[in-house]
Amino acid sequence: MNLGSCRRFAGAVPRLLWNISGTVLPRTPSTAGRSLTSSHVKSHPCWTSLLQVSRFSAAPQGTDVTYKQLKQLLAGRTSAVIDVREPWELREYGFIPGAINVPLGQVKTALQLSSEEFKEKYGGEKPQQTDNIVFSCLAGIRSKQALDAATSLGYKEAQHYPGGWQDWADNEKHK
C-alpha cells in the first residue's frame, strides 16, 4: 500500500507504531489536538526503520518478470513457466506457450512430488529448487501466492509475472 492511500489512517498510525526502543511514537506539541498527516509520520525518525522492516517478505527482492523478460526466458529455455490458473481458464482464455498448468491449490503439493510423479500429472519437467521458475496466472494475484508457496519450500529462483495472461495477450496481439 502506498503512502497516499494510507492518509485516512494517518491520525491513528502514530499511536500504533512502535519505535525500536519499544515506546509509542510521541505526539509533539505542534501536532497535539489535531490529526497527524502522512508527512508528520514520514518525518519521524522511526519511519525509515519501519519502511525497512515492511520490505521483508517470504519472496526475494526482484521477483517480478516483465513481458519482455518472460519472452527471453521462454526463448532461451532458461526458466520453467507455471500457469496457476484452473484448466478451464486456459481452455477459455488461452495460455502462454511452453507453460505448465499447475492450479494454485496444487502448487505446494506439486512442488513436493517426485520428478516422475510431477511429469505424469502435469506433463512437464518438475523444476528443481535451484531452477528459475516463473509463475503466471490471469492478472498476477494467484501467481504471487504461488511464488510465496514456492519460496516457503526453498525455491530460491522463483519469480512471478504480475501482468499474467492479460498482459501477455495484450502484448502478443500488438505484434
- Do 158 and 147 form a contact (C-beta atoms < 8 A)? yes
User: Catalytic residue among 137, 138, 146, 158, which?
Assistant: 137
What residue has cell string 500500500?
Answer: 1
Residues 139-150: what's their mean pLDDT? 95
| Local confidence band at 25 (pLDDT 50, 70, 90 cut-offs) | very low
- Geometric angle at alpha carbon 86, from 83 and 91, rounded to 5°: 90
The one-letter amino acid at 108: K
Question: What was the pLDDT predicted at 77?
Answer: 86
Question: What was the pLDDT predicted at 62?
Answer: 67
pLDDT at 175 over 90: no
What residue has cell string 523478460?
Answer: 69
Listed range (19-33, 89-103, 159-173) with the worst mean pLDDT: 19-33
CATH of 67-173, one of 3.90.960.10, 3.40.250.10, 3.40.50.2020, 3.20.20.70: 3.40.250.10
Question: What was the pLDDT predicted at 113?
Answer: 97
Instruction: Please list, in sequence order, all residues whose beta carbon lies within 8 angstroms of the beta carbon of residue 5, skipping any fewer than 6 positions away.
Output: none
Question: What was the pLDDT predicted at 149?
Answer: 96
Annotated domain spans of the chain: 3-54, 67-173
For 82-137, the pLDDT digits (tens) are 999 999 999 999 999 999 999 999 999 999 999 999 999 999 999 999 999 999 99
Question: Which grid cell sits at 55?
Answer: 520490505
Residues 139-155: what's their mean pLDDT? 95
- Residue 137 annotated among the catalytic residues of the structure: yes
Question: Which grid cell sits at 110?
Answer: 506439486
- Geometric angle at alpha carbon 61, from 138 and 8, rounded to 5°: 75
Instruction: Please list, in sequence order, all residues whose beta carbon lies within 8 angstroms of the beta carbon of residue 100, skipping any fewer than 6 positions away.
Output: 80, 81, 82, 83, 122, 123, 124
> What is the average pLDDT score of the chain?
75
Distance CA 81, CA 54 (A): 29
For 34-84, the pLDDT digits (tens) are 443 434 444 444 333 333 333 334 444 568 999 999 999 999 888 899 999
